Structure 1
Amino acid sequence: MTSHPAGPRRAAVPRHPALAPRPARHLTRSRVALAATACLLAAGAPTAYATLAADVSSGPVLAPGRGAPYIETRLLFGTERPDGEAAVTDEEFMAFVDLEVTPGFPAGLTVRQGRGQWQDARGVIETERSYELTLLYPVSAAAASDRRIEEIRVDYRRAFGQEAVARVDDRTRVDF
């Protein structure tokens, strides 16, 4: 028997035609999503997860015709004050929301507490308690909402001595 550099050769075993190697195919997003869906379903995942996996690469998960076009704006508020004063308290922040945010967005909002990290103008990395405020509003109200959101950002910076309030906008569809 001759020696092969990678080790001894094995005798060829006939394969079932279904197991024969197939030519490589281009994997499109839909094929990848379909494969992910099949794996989730095979694993017994609920249908909602399968739908999410199938639509992850093609945009929001929606039933046809469900929801209206909206904009989701997230504002990120730090609480440490650069002048060394005590950090913005929960009571102060919620009073700010009640007075400055709710009148412009009475239909609803969400506030989450978190821990944030921010590099200030001097290059110092600050870690601090933070708040994330989420607002949803119809695309048709975008111009008026944008003005109110910018006022909120300016008012918070002034009221609590902040260098910035981050803003993240995403287009989405919403159904209440």
Structure 2
Amino acid sequence: MNHLRCAGALLAVALLSGCVASVAPASATLHGDPAHPAQTQAWVDTKLYFGLGLFDDAASGVSEQRWRDFLDAEVTPRFPDGLSVVDVYGQWQGKGQTAPERLRSKMLVIDYPDTAENRAKVEAIRAAWKQRTGDQSVLRVTQPAEVSF
């Protein structure tokens, strides 16, 4: 009887495997929208890291309202089709420092076609932040991305 149960279980697994294999691959839910293609070519994923101020002193540095104002004025007009913001903890230790500097930070994630115009928009965002805050840098990490909506 045990052999029959095992055979039945194997048959059920085989049948279910066949069902899964016959399911069509998922497709994009948005059709005909060039800003949200079903499949992309030559897109990139860019992450920008912005320091807001010392981690242990939430009253200093850039407030949440100032950050949202920056997004509304500098980022969204350049990339209105969408972006993501993630709260992150940043840390670094400069030469000659005895302890790391801990920062409240934001990571901005933007996926877009890799064009000279879009790269210039990203650089304009970085420059605008440095001008507004006096920060020396905004870390940028860009990688090729396969995107589907």
Q: 2:116 aligns with which of 143, 147, 159?
A: 143
CA distance in 2, matches of 1:113, 1:89: 13
Q: 1:160 aligns with which of 130, 133, 146?
A: 133
Cα displacement (A) at 1:120: 4.1
Identity level (%): 33
Cα displacement (A) at 1:86: 1.9
Cα displacement (A) at 1:158: 1.3
Unaligned residue ranges in structure 2 (runs of 5+): 1-26, 28-37
CA distance in 1, matches of 2:94, 2:127: 17
Could you state the TM-score of these two structures normalised by the residue count of structure 2?
Answer: 0.65
CA distance in 1, matches of 2:83, 2:100: 29
Q: Verify: 1:86 aligned to 2:50, yes or no.
A: no
Q: Verify: 1:171 aligned to 2:144, yes or no.
A: yes
CA distance in 2, matches of 1:164, 1:87: 15
**Partner SS state of residue 129, structure 2:** helix
Q: Which residue matches 1:67?
A: 39
- 5 Å-filtered alignment, 1:1-176, equals 67-69=39-41, 70-80=43-53, 86-120=60-94, 123=97, 125-139=100-114, 142-176=115-149
CA distance in 2, matches of 1:73, 1:137: 8
Name the amino acid aligned to 2:81: A
CA distance in 1, matches of 2:90, 2:130: 16
Cα displacement (A) at 1:169: 0.2
CA distance in 1, matches of 2:46, 2:73: 19
Report the aligned-residue RMSD: 2.4
Q: Is the 8 A contact 1:77 1:166 kept in 2?
A: yes
Q: Is the 8 A contact 1:111 1:131 kept in 2?
A: yes
CA distance in 1, matches of 2:111, 2:75: 12
Cα displacement (A) at 1:106: 0.5
CA distance in 2, matches of 1:121, 1:79: 21
**Partner SS state of residue 128, structure 2:** helix
Cα displacement (A) at 1:122: 5.8
Cα displacement (A) at 1:119: 3.1
